[in-house]
Amino acid sequence: MKKLLLSLLCAMPLASGLSAQELTIAAAADLNYAMKNLATRFEQKSGEKVGLSLGASGNLYSQIQNGAPYDLFFSADAEYPRKLAAAGLLEKGSLHTYAVGHLVLWAPYASKLNPQELKMSLLLQPAVQKIAIANPEHAPYGRAAMAALEHFGLKAKVADKLVLGENVSQAAQFVQSGNAQAGLIPMSLALSPAMKRAGTYWEVPPDAYPAIEQVVGVLSSAKHKKEAQAFIDFLGSLQGAAVLQQYGFTAPAQK
């Protein structure tokens, strides 16, 4: 498979920039806009300061394994937090599934290709030379994209067109900038103001890929455990739930 892998500096450990006085949150890149909104509202409500580090879930997982001093880890899937919990790096009983993410096929208006009409067949159009996805090695949405391509029988047909971003934010940048003509990205990014102005999307059916469970956990080494729990509680409030819904996240199924 011929792939173009463009690298982006992943989030640096907090010791290099974020204050020790802040509640420090490591969050998957699909939460970019939602988390910034949530952090601002939480700061206004609580008076606490919040520092954010955004990146691919797998990269943040590696940073936490290597001792990055975060308080909270928001992953785009359950696998990485469960591994951290098994290793004793998350507070016992702190894992919580707070939302489900959704994959979309996005194309810029400039392409004159309508994903709502063409759906996945858009990826086979001659005008589509590059398709942006997040790197499936460490980004859950990248794995979801590959699963969706396989589900629709397109994996081999579009293999040479794939452009891998280090995380979903970079994948979205590729297609928004025109370096790719289509992208399989999170709905949460497609609903951001800039991408809503630049293009349109079609939601990939949820049965085409494994459920993207958004899971949060408190680090065992957290220095702000009380504030971390307060943030999780805020996330579950009506105000927090409204922000998540605004960016296309849905509530997890009741078990």
10-100+213-246 in CATH: which number?
3.40.190.10
101-208 in CATH: which number?
3.40.190.10
pLDDT tens, position by position, 116-130: 999 999 999 999 999
| C-alpha neighbours within 13 Å on the C-beta side of residue 219 | 24
pLDDT of residue 66: 96
- What's at 72, amino acid-wise? L
The residues facing 117 across adjacent strands are none
List the chain pLDDT tens, one digit each, 255 residues: 434 333 333 333 333 344 557 999 999 999 999 999 999 999 999 999 999 999 999 999 999 999 999 999 999 999 999 999 999 999 999 999 999 999 999 999 999 999 999 999 999 999 999 999 999 999 999 999 999 999 999 999 999 999 999 999 999 999 999 999 999 999 999 999 999 999 999 999 999 999 999 999 999 999 999 999 999 999 999 999 999 999 999 998 755
Nearest of 145, 33, 56, 101 to residue 252 by alpha carbon? 101
Beta-strand pair 72-75/23-28: parallel
Asked if 200 contacts 114 with a C-beta cutoff of 8 angstroms, the reply is yes
Distance CA 52, CA 74 (A): 11
Distance CA 162, CA 142 (A): 11
Domain extents for the chain? Answer: 10-100+213-246, 101-208
Nearest of 179, 181, 170, 176 to residue 196 by alpha carbon? 176
Task: Check if 10-100+213-246 and 101-208 are the same fold.
Answer: yes
Distance CA 181, CA 50 (A): 36
pLDDT tens, position by position, 169-200: 999 999 999 999 999 999 999 999 999 999 99
* Start-to-end Cα distance in the chain: 40
Burial grade of 209 (CB within 10 A; 0-12, 13-18, 19 or more): buried
Asked if 217 contacts 73 with a C-beta cutoff of 8 angstroms, the reply is yes
Task: For residue 97, give every residue at least 6 positions away whose Cβ sits within 8 Å of its Cβ, in sequence order, or none.
Answer: 78, 213, 214, 215, 252
Asked if 133 contacts 148 with a C-beta cutoff of 8 angstroms, the reply is no
